[in-house]
Structure 1
Amino acid sequence: MTAQILDGEKAATEVKSELVERIAALKRRGITPGLATVLVGEDPPSHAYVRMKHRDAAALGLASVERQLPAETSQEELDAVIDELNANPEVHGILVQIPLPKHLDEQAVLERIDPAKDADGLHPVNLGRLVLNVNGPIDTPLPCTPVGAIELMLRNDIDLKGKHVVVLGRGITVGRALGLLLTRRAINATVTLTHTGTVDLPSHLRQADVVISAVGVPHLVKAADLKPGAVVLDVGVSREINEETGKPKLLGDIDPAAAEVASWISPNPGGVGPMTRAMLMSNVVAAAERQNPPR
C-alpha cells in the first residue's frame, strides 16, 4: 500500500478561491479586509511564516499592516502596538507571531488583542466559545491549524463520523483545540488526546483510524505503530542542520516509511501548513464581515 497524498496546497487554493467573491462583496461596499501581523525579534522561521502570510493576503487583495519590532522590545511597547492595531478600523484581524522573546508574556499579549480581531482564534474568549460549542467560522474565529487539518480531510472526502482519532500533543494551538473540533456533532469523531504522560503510545496509535501528530519530535510515529489504512496528518515541526549544506532542514513527526502503511498522508511541508494560512485568510475575511454588517 502506498498512501494517497493530502495535498494542502491544492486544498488551500480551493479555500482561497471561495473567498474571492466574499472579498469582492466587501470591496463593493468600500471595505478591504485587513490583516495586521506583529513580529518581535529575528527568529528566521517566524520571519518566513509572516512573509508567507502577507504573500497570501496580497494575492487575495487583502490589505496588510506589518509591525516588526526588535528583540529588546518591552512589554509596554508591545502592548502599545497591539492597542494601536485594535483601534485601527482598517485592521480586521491581528496576529502576533509566536514564539516571542522570553522576557515577554505571550499569554498577556494574546489576551490584549481585541477578541473580534483575533485572526488566530486563540484569544481566551474565542477558545471559551469553542469549548461551549457556540461558535463557527462566521460567528467567531476558529484556531487556524486545527480547523485547517480537518478541512484538509473533508475536502478529500475522508468521512470522520464515528472514526477514532488519536491526537499527539496537548498544546492549545493544535492538540486541545482539535479534540474540541473533532467531537462536535457536525463531525462526531471519537478522540484520544495523547501527551508526554501517555503510557504505551504505540498501542493507542495501532487503534487509530486517524493519527494527527503535533509534537515536534522528528519521525516519532513509525510505520509499525499504525493500523493499516490509517489516515495520517503530520503537523509537527522540527529542524536539524544539514551537515552537507549547513542549512536547516524541516522535519515532521511522521516517519516517511509510514506512507507504505497509511491510506492517506499529509506531506510536511505542503500538507497542513498551507491550510493553516488559508484558514487565517478566512478568519480575516469573516472578521471584516462581522465588523461591517450590511445595512
Structure 2
Amino acid sequence: MSAQVIDGRACARALKESLEVDVARLRHEGLGIGLATVVIGDEYSSGAYERRLRRLADELGVTYSPQTLPGDTDQEALLTRIGELNADPAVSGILVLRPLPSHIDEAAVFRAIDPMKDIEAVHPENAGLLALGVPRFVPSTAASCFHLLDTWLDSVGEDRADFYHRANIVVVGRSNNVGKPAISLGYERQATVQSVDEWADRTTGIGRYTRWADVLIVAAGKAGLIRAEHVGENAVVIDVGINAATGPDGRVHMVGDVDHDAVAPRVRALTPVPGGVGPVTDVWLLRNTVTAARLLAGRPIDLARPSLPTPARVLLEAS
C-alpha cells in the first residue's frame, strides 16, 4: 500500500480563493480588515513567517501591521501596546506570537487582548467558548488539521458524519494552540478522542495509544517521534510538527514529527512537511481576521464555504 499525500498547498489555494471573494465584498461595502502581530525580540520579525503573512495579506487586501518590540520590553509596555491595538479601529485581529520571554506573564497578556479581536482564541472567554462547542474563533492550526481531514474525506467520497462517528482520533501533544483545541474539535464531530503526551514514548510507549488511531494528529514538536511501529494500517496522519534538521549534505531542512518515509507504506493518507498543515494555517489565520472584522462591525458571519480542490489536486499518490 502506498499512502495518499494530502496536499496542503492545494487546500490553501482553494481556501484563499473563497476568502478573496469575501474580502472583496467587504471592502466594496466599505469595511476595512486589519491584522496586527506582536512579537518581542527579533525571532520572527525578519523571518519567513512574517514575509508569508505580509504577502498573503497583501494578496487578499488585508492590512498587515507587524509590531516588533525590543527583547527587554517589560510587561507594562507590552500590555500598553495591546491596549492601543484593542482601541485601534483599523485593527480587526491581534496575534501575539509565542514563545514570550520568561519575564512576561503569558496568561495576563492573553487576558488583555480584546476577545472580539482574539483570532487565535487565547483569551479565556474564547478558549471557554471553544471548549463548550460554540467557538467564536478556532485556533488556526487546529482548524487547519480538520479542514485538511474534511477535504480529504470529501475527495475520497467518505461521509464526514459517518466517518467521525466511527473514528478513534488520537492527538499527540497538549499545547493550548494545537493539541487542546484539536481535542475539542474532535469531540465536536462526535468522534472518540484520546490525548497522549509525547512523554508516553519514554514510559508506557506511545505506540500503545497511537496504533489504534483512525486519525492521528501529531503536534509534539519532536522530529521523527512517530515511526512505522506507532501507526496502524489505514490510519490518516496529520503531521503538525515543524522541526529543523540537518541532512547528510549538511543543509538544514524542515521535517515533521512523523518519519514520513517509514510511515507512508503503512497508512492510508498523511500530510507532508513542508506543504501540509502550514499553508492552510496561514490562510486560516486571515480567515479568522475576516471573521473578527465582521463581528466588530456587527455583520453576520456568513463566510463562503471554502471551495474544495479536485481530488487530483488534493491527493498526490506517493511514489
Query: How does the TM-score come out when normalised to structure 1?
Result: 0.92
Question: In structure 2, what is the Cα distance between the partners aligned to 1:12 and 1:21?
Answer: 15
Q: Which residue of 1 aligns with 2:311?
A: none
Larger RCO of the pair (alpha carbons < 8 Å, separation 6+): 2
Partner of 1:193: 195
SS in 2 for 1:119: coil
CA gap of 1:248–1:75, structure 2 versus 1, over 3 A, is farther
- Report the RMSD for the aligned CA atoms in angstroms: 1.9
* Runs of 5+ unmatched residues, structure 1: none
Written as runs of structure 1 = structure 2, the 5 A alignment for 1:32-43 is 32-43=32-43
The answer on whether the counterparts of 1:16 and 1:281 sit within 8 Å (CA) in structure 2 is: no
Q: Give the letter for the 2:187 counterpart.
A: T
Q: 1:250 aligns with which of 248, 254, 265?
A: 254
Distance 1:47 1:39 in 2: 12
**Counterpart position of 2:281:** 276
- What are the Cα deviations for residues 97-126 of structure 1, in whole angstroms up to 9, with x where unaligned? 111222222222122110100121222110
Partner of 2:245: 240
Local SS of the residue matching 2:264: helix
Structure 1 residue 21: Cα displacement: 2.1
- Structure 2: 5+ residue stretches without partners: 301-319
Cα separation, 1, equivalents of 2:46 and 2:140: 16
How do residues 71-90 of structure 1 correspond to structure 2 at under 5 angstroms?
71-90=71-90
Aligned residues of 2:142 and 2:182 also touching (Cα < 8 A): yes
- After superposition, the C-alpha distances for 1:20-50 in whole angstroms (9 at most, x for unaligned) are 2221221122112110111211225983222
Runs of 4+ in structure 1 over 3 Å off? 44-47, 240-245
1:172-187 correspondence to structure 2 within 5 Å: 172-184=176-188, 187=189
Q: Distance in 2 between matches of 1:241 and 1:72?
A: 31
CA–CA distance in 1 between the matches of 2:45 and 2:185?
27
How many matched pairs? 288
Q: Which residues of 2 match residues 122-201 of structure 1 at below 5 A?
A: 122-135=122-135, 140-157=136-153, 159=160, 160-161=163-164, 162-184=166-188, 187-196=189-198, 198=200, 199-201=204-206
Query: What is the one-letter code of the residue matched to 1:130?
Result: L
Q: 1:186-206 deviations in whole A, cap 9, x for unaligned?
A: x22111100145433212111
Q: TM-score, normalization: structure 2?
A: 0.85
Identity over the aligned pairs, expressed in percent?
38
Q: Distance in 2 between matches of 1:174 and 1:69?
A: 25
Tell me which amino acid in the other structure corresponds to 1:227: G
Alignment of structure 1 residues 89-104 onto 2, 5 Å: 89-104=89-104
* Helix, strand or coil at the partner of 2:47: helix
Summarize deviations over 1:149-201 as a string: whole Å, max 9, x none: 000111122644120111101111111111111111xx221111001454332
State the one-letter code of the partner of 2:96. Answer: V
